[in-house]
Amino acid sequence: MTLSFYVHIPYCIKRCGYCDFNTYTPSELQDGATLEIVSSDYIDAVLQELAAAPTDPVPTIFFGGGTPSLLPAHDLGRVITAIKARNSLTPDCEITLEANPDSVTAEKLAEYLQVGFNRISFGMQSAKPHVLAVLDRTHNPVNVEKAITMARAAGFKSISVDLIYGTPGESLEDWRETVENALSLDIDHISAYALIVETGTKLAAQIKRGDLTMPNDDLMADMYLLVDQMCEAKGLTWYELSNWSKPGHQCRHNIAYWENKNWWGLGPGAHSHIDAKRFWNVKHPTTYKQKVFAGETPILDCEQLTAEQIKDESILLGIRMREGLQIELLEPHQLEVLALYRDNGFIELQADRVILSPAGRLIADRIVREITI
């Protein structure tokens, strides 16, 4: 067995209006403390939590957030070194850093590389300033290209960008320009996500007040089909519903999630999956630190999956992948339901697999509902 690690960095300079992730600005947490103090302290806690994890060899580590690139390389490096020392890393171990294009410099990038990172994912979101403004993103679109050039020059072998579509006020044409712009960069991988309005966010309030209007599902669908088409044309093929890559550049860490491998999440609010068990940590960084430093477990709750739940998960995760679902795992009545979807062009039934068409990917949840219920 292997064990992947997710390391949560719950800090951002500023919270974006659409974001409901477990992240805080340093000033929200500790009055007057410098980022260096907060960072060092936090990594101490993460290392303490690490002691509870299994010791299997590690094929992937993913630093997500928040904004991991906000923290100094030597702090993040302490985590990599510790994992390496107690678990060992596989020879091809993929170590990803999520980065804000504004918060990197050539110097910093070289340091990240030096402490062990080999893959970097930039939060680009859009190439259009008016779209970024609605999302509350502070970066200058021009910085994305600079950051990518610097990352490549520093020696990152795999570079990805995250995009968001369906932002209020974004037209299909805006989106086309964003995707075109992203594909013109020296990248190996694209993740494109439909904007989700999460309750409790500033964006949700703006929509509720009527200041902003979400695009309708038809436009969202057209946007998805467009990015799929444009990526494929550039040699980035889809391997999961929202992810496209050049050959050999799939994110192996995320594939571990979708293939239900074992993975451990370090940090507040992080989830873990070990065998048939899912568990997750307390959400707030302060509580998390208190618990860990007091020698208590930060785990808030856990669930033991039943055979039916495991099966449901493998269907809902598997169907999102390019390999699709194995027909032999499906029951006759499920295949009957799927036959209707095939007739309507949503899926392709191959000899041994069920694979979603682009239109089918857009209604994947519905199809999962129909075959699992």
Smallest distance from other proteins to CB 23, Å:
14
The helix-helix angle for 364-372 and 332-343 (nearest 10°) equals 150
| 3 state SS of 230 | helix
Smallest distance from other proteins to CB 31, Å:
30
Asked if 270 touches other proteins (CB under 8 A), the answer is yes
346-365 residues in contact with other proteins (CB under 8 A) are 346, 359, 361-365
Smallest distance from other proteins to CB 240, Å:
8
Given 3-state DSSP classes, what are the helix, strand and coil percentages for the chain, each rounded to the nearest 5?
A: 45, 25, 35
Asked if 258 touches other proteins (CB under 8 A), the answer is yes
Per DSSP, which regions of the chain are E strands? 4-9, 58-65, 89-99, 119-125, 158-165, 189-194, 237-240, 243-245, 263-266, 271-274, 277-281, 299-304, 325-326, 347-349, 353-356
211-230 residues in contact with other proteins (CB under 8 A) are 217-218, 220-221, 224
**Using CB under 8 A as the criterion, what x/- string covers residues 313-352 for binding other proteins?**
x--xx--x-------------------xx--x-x------
**Using CB under 8 A as the criterion, what x/- string covers residues 62-101 for binding other proteins?**
----------------------------------------
Q: Beta strand 58-65 with 89-99: parallel, antiparallel or unpaired?
A: parallel
Asked if 13 touches other proteins (CB under 8 A), the answer is no
Asked if 34 touches other proteins (CB under 8 A), the answer is no
126-155 residues in contact with other proteins (CB under 8 A) are none
Smallest distance from other proteins to CB 298, Å:
14
d(CA 287, CA 112): 29
Smallest distance from other proteins to CB 343, Å:
9
For residues 170 and 126, is the Cβ–Cβ distance under 8 A?
yes
Radius of gyration of the chain (CA): 21
